[in-house]
Amino acid sequence: MSSHSTHANPVLVVGSVALDSVETPFGKADEVLGGSGVYFSSSAAHFAPVQLVGVVGDDYPIESLQPLAAKGVNVAGLERASGSSFRWRGRYRHDLNSAETLETHLGVFSNFAPKIPEQFRSAPFVFLANIDPRLQLQVLEQVDKPRLVACDTMNFWIESRRPELLELLKHVDLITINDAEARQLTEHTNLVKAARWILDRGPKHVLIKKGEHGAFMFTNESVFFAPAYPLESVFDPTGAGDSFAGGFFGYLAATGDLSDQNMRRAVVVGSAMGSFAVEKFSNTRLLEITRSEIDARVQEFRQLVSFDAELVV
């Protein structure tokens, strides 16, 4: 059962639906739900109806997506292909800062050609999660003038699909990208310069995700920064960036308000969702949190950065 306001705009997301096996200093999880599409949806569904497009193999435990569907994620666009599902196996060392990939099996994902179901083509909010830029462009050919189009990407595509990625930038309103990727894409070490470089190539908003160091939102007019929530224990960082994007985008879709003030709020909502995601393996915590927990954490972000700028001497 979903509790979305009847006015909430649906969010279309195209991304990976995977099985992750993760090892952290605190435990192990085997073949659990993962992938950018899953994390994004689990987070965005707290705010808006989500339409998920992706592909799984015939070995995928489809019933494990039931909790997502119950939260308002429409999985009618999830293709079931013959072959094995996308699997990722990774490990985090003591400092939890970067994942070490032990194994990647693309499986059916390697032949994925997104087909957007007729009933999803008019979604006003479209998020192109981290997949081949050629596929991201194919999705844009299938949708009707969305109000807001955003994309994510990664080092692999920056290296191997640079021309297609630059073409994609011309067609998106917003990009989410991590700091290392922004530096790699733009060849600027300085993030302000990197953001300006991207802003000059299409997107009107550039969200640079710095993991435990927070996130910047750059536009041509302003800069906003939200810290990461200072958690005493981070359990598993997998999916934090996609959960951030889901919270951000879901909140924008729910409000339909693209003013600078509301987009700042959306960045904080995204940061809150990212901070929940890392508290347990997979999307477990994202599925169990309540709206009042989300509201409380957003208030904690407010406290975290609150100060009075009028100097008294």
Beta bridge mates, 51: 12, 74
Beta bridge mates, 174: 150, 205
First to last CA, the chain: 55
DSSP designation for 154: -
Q: Which amino acid type is present at position 145?
A: K
Among residues 94, 103, 141, 145, which is the contact residue for a second copy, using CB under 8 A? 94
Q: Let me know if 40 is exposed, middle or buried by CB neighbors in 10 A (0-12, 13-18, 19+).
A: buried
Q: How far is the CB of 111 from a second copy (least distance, A)?
A: 39
The upper half-sphere exposure of residue 21, i.e. CA atoms within 13 Å in the direction of its Cβ, equals 10
Cα 1 vs. chain centroid, distance in angstroms? 23
Q: Which is nearer to a second copy, 44 or 129 (CB)?
A: 44
**Pairing between β-strand 215-218 and β-strand 223-226 as defined by DSSP bridges:** antiparallel
Q: How far is the CB of 305 from a second copy (least distance, A)?
A: 4
- Scanning 15-23, 197-205, 238-246, 294-302 for contacts with a second copy by CB under 8 A, the matching segment is 294-302
Q: How far is the CB of 134 from a second copy (least distance, A)?
A: 31
Cβ within 8 Å of residue 73, ≥6 positions away: 41, 42, 45, 49, 50, 51, 52, 65
Among residues 214, 219, 279, 280, which is the contact residue for a second copy, using CB under 8 A? 214
Our finding on whether 83 is near a second copy (CB under 8 A) is: no
Q: How far is the CB of 237 from a second copy (least distance, A)?
A: 12
Within 219-278, the residues that bind a second copy by CB under 8 A are: 222-227, 230-234, 251, 254-255, 257, 261-262, 264-265, 267-269
Q: Which is nearer to a second copy, 82 or 306 (CB)?
A: 306
> Taking every pair of C-alpha atoms in the chain, what is the biggest distance, in angstroms?
70
**Contact residues for a second copy, defined by CB under 8 A:** 5, 8, 47, 94-96, 189-193, 196, 210, 213-214, 216, 222-227, 230-234, 251, 254-255, 257, 261-262, 264-265, 267-269, 295, 298-299, 301-309, 311-313
